[in-house]
């Protein structure tokens, strides 16, 4: 018999924090997915982590990614949805390749950059979009409202494109996104609308927050699709299990290196280990936002504020949102402002996790050196990951089987790659026609009253 998994809040044990009433209850996956975060602003966590047998994992050696996805997602969802429905969602989500390239010996790069927006965020966003559509309830239309400064918005927008029963509204700061990003966002079309806001990213985020807390908009079925939704963590467990099945001998240990910003990707690896994949070490290299490696070194956590602007810009995070989940798994509590209420067991964490900060200078050197030596093209995020792996091996001695994740396509960083390598990387298939696409955003001032009126007049709530 399968155990029914329920979800609790990482803030359930908070006491004496003004304005926070700890949520002590449990919800289903469906409710966690549709709510996004717990009522006390904590993050939802599964109360049981299902385990996979080594035979189950290895059964898909040489197999299709989607088979492993069924195994992993099925372990979490089988009490809440029929497996043929889950199968449809998975087949529809993962229609692109997941190349694992050998760099040298048994050291590999896994490229998670072949989806429609050429970033690993496609893996999570595509599955979450389809799960939301499935779980939304009969005849109900959901309205996803997101603020973005770039990559997440296009991954979410593309993921929801054409998904039935859901409309998406993406707010972005008109003056702050790059030309190509703007193009990517504005031309998705269909059920995905963009709103170019006069202001900064923080203004967009505040507008979205106000809309979510506005009781007069309660009837609009607003929902978020942000990175703290457990529906985005679950799909990110799969590729660790998949890589293990493809590369390892049965029972062998493996090292993963995951370039980290908000720690959602690395959390997928932590769950994969707890599900039964023998992960010797999870390496979580960061860019110059070094709050986490410092914490592992000193045992004392201090967020970086304001966050530092680095080349690997999707990792410019001074207080990772999913740190609350890591702390919870190791017995601690940290709130969303970065205050630690209970410290986790640092030794248990150090046993499983290694982290190091990689500077922009070293990131650039790594891109150049890896290309010269191995003829492998990395972009800044992947280079932080690879360098983190190298540092771990230098400090701890060689380890046979290692996989470093490449989280974006180098073609998304044409200027950096041209400067460092003197070549122009080819745009991935899904982005080839990008400059020819057309589409316009709605333009709004950064004024909540105007946004509210627009939402009230335009959002549909029935299917
Ligand atoms: C979001 C992102 C990351 C960081 O992932 P987290 O889950 O936030 O740690 C790394 N690389 C790229 C390209 C990203 O878009």
Tell me if 343 sits within 8 A of 295, measured CB to CB.
Answer: no
Tell me if 390 sits within 8 A of 285, measured CB to CB.
Answer: no
Atom of ligand 1 nearest to the CA of 267: 7
Atom of ligand 1 nearest to the CA of 260: 9
Atom of ligand 1 nearest to the CA of 259: 10
Instruction: At 164, list the tokens.
Output: 């039935």
Atom of ligand 1 nearest to the CA of 317: 8
In a mutational test of the pocket of ligand 1, which residue from 118, 239, 265 has the highest number of ligand atoms less than 8 Å from its CB? 265
Q: Is the C-beta atom of 262 inside 6 A of ligand 1? A: yes
Q: Answer yes or no: is pLDDT of 227 > 80.
A: no
Burial 284-295 (b: 16+ CB within 10 A, else e): bbbbbbbbbbbb
pLDDT in tens, 435-450: 888 899 999 999 999 9
Q: What is the distance in A from the centroid of ligand 1 to the CA of 31?
A: 25
Q: Answer yes or no: is pLDDT of 429 > 80.
A: no
Cα–Cα distances in angstroms (integers) from residue 391 to residues 249, 277, 362, in the given order:
25, 23, 11
pLDDT in tens, 368-409: 999 999 999 999 999 999 999 999 999 999 999 999 999 999
Q: Is the C-beta atom of 121 inside 6 A of ligand 1? A: yes
Q: What is the distance in A from the centroid of ligand 1 to the CA of 65?
A: 21
Q: H or E segment at 254?
A: strand 254-257
Q: Answer yes or no: is pLDDT of 72 > 50.
A: yes
The CATH number of 100-116+231-421 is 3.40.50.1100
Domain limits, the chain: 100-116+231-421
User: What distance in Å separates the CA atoms of residue 421 and residue 112, rounded to the nearest whole number?
Assistant: 22
Atom of ligand 1 nearest to the CA of 261: 9
Residue of 44, 12, 43 lying closest to 27 (CA atoms): 44
Least confident of 144-153, 317-326, 441-450: 144-153
Decide: helix, strand or coil at residue 145.
strand
Query: Given strand 353-354, what is the order of strands in its sheet?
Result: 100-104, 107-111, 402-406, 254-257, 279-283, 353-354
| pLDDT band, residue 1 (cuts 50/70/90) | very low
Atom of ligand 1 nearest to the CA of 412: 13
Q: Is the C-beta atom of 119 inside 6 A of ligand 1? A: yes
pLDDT in tens, 330-353: 999 999 889 999 999 999 999 999
**pLDDT at 268 (0 to 100):** 98
Q: Is the C-beta atom of 122 inside 6 A of ligand 1? A: no
Q: Answer yes or no: is pLDDT of 151 > 80.
A: no
Tell me if 403 sits within 8 A of 257, measured CB to CB.
Answer: yes
Q: Is the C-beta atom of 260 inside 6 A of ligand 1? A: yes
**pLDDT at 3 (0 to 100):** 65
Q: Is the C-beta atom of 381 inside 6 A of ligand 1? A: yes
Q: Answer yes or no: is pLDDT of 167 > 60.
A: yes
Least confident of 45-49, 294-298, 423-427, 445-449: 423-427
Q: What is the distance in A from the centroid of ligand 1 to the CA of 226?
A: 13
User: What distance in Å separates the CA atoms of residue 336 and residue 210, rounded to the nearest whole number?
Assistant: 17
Q: Answer yes or no: is pLDDT of 414 > 70.
A: yes
| Mean pLDDT, rounded, of the chain | 94
**pLDDT at 37 (0 to 100):** 87
pLDDT in tens, 74-127: 999 999 999 999 999 999 999 999 999 999 999 999 999 999 999 999 999 999
């Amino acid at each position: 018999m399968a155990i029914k998994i329920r979800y609790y809040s990482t803030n359930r044990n908070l006491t004496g924090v003004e304005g926070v009433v700890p949520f002590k209850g449990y919800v289903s996956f469906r409710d966690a997915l549709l709510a996004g975060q717990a009522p006390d602003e904590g993050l939802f966590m599964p109360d049981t982590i299902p385990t996979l047998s080594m035979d189950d994992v290895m059964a898909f050696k040489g197999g299709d990614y989607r088979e492993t996805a069924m195994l992993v997602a099925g372990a979490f969802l089988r009490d809440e949805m029929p497996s043929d429905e889950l199968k449809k969602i998975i087949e529809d989500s993962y229609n692109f390749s997941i190349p694992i390239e050998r760099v040298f010996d048994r050291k590999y790069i896994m490229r998670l950059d072949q989806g429609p927006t050429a970033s690993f965020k496609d893996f999570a966003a595509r599955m979450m979009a389809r799960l939301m559509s499935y779980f939304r309830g009969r005849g109900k239309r959901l309205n996803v409202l997101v603020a973005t400064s770039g990559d997440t918005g296009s991954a979410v927008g593309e993921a929801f494109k054409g998904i039935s029963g859901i409309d998406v509204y993406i707010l972005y700061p008109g003056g702050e996104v790059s030309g190509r990003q703007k193009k990517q966002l504005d031309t998705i079309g269909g059920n995905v609308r963009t709103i170019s806001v006069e202001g900064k990213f923080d203004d967009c985020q505040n507008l979205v927050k106000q809309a979510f807390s506005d009781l007069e908009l309660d009837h609009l079925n607003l929902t978020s699709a942000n990175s703290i939704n457990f529906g985005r963590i679950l799909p990110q467990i799969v590729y660790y299990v998949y890589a293990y099945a493809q590369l390892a001998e049965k029972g062998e240990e493996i090292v993963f290196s995951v370039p980290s910003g908000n720690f959602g990707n690395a959390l997928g690896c932590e769950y994969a280990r707890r599900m039964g994949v023998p992960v010797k070490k999870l390496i979580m290299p960061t860019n110059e936002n070094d709050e986490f490696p410092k914490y592992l070194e000193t045992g004392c956590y201090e967020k970086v504020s304001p966050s530092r602007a680095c080349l690997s810009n999707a990792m410019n995070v001074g207080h990772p949102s999913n740190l609350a989940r890591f702390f919870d798994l190791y017995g601690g509590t940290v709130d969303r402002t970065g205050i630690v209420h209970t410290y986790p067991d640092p030794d248990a964490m150090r046993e499983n996790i290694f982290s190091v900060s990689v500077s922009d200078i070293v990131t650039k050197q790594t891109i150049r050196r890896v290309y010269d030596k191995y003829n492998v093209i990395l972009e800044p995020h992947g280079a932080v990951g690879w360098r983190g792996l190298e540092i771990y091996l230098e400090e701890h001695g060689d380890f046979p089987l290692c996989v470093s994740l490449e989280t974006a396509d180098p073609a998304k960083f044409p200027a950096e790659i041209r400067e460092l390598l003197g070549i122009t990387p080819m745009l991935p298939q899904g982005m080839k026609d990008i400059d020819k696409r057309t589409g316009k955003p709605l333009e709004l001032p950064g004024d909540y009253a105007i946004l509210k009126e627009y939402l009230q007049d335009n959002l549909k709530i029935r299917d």
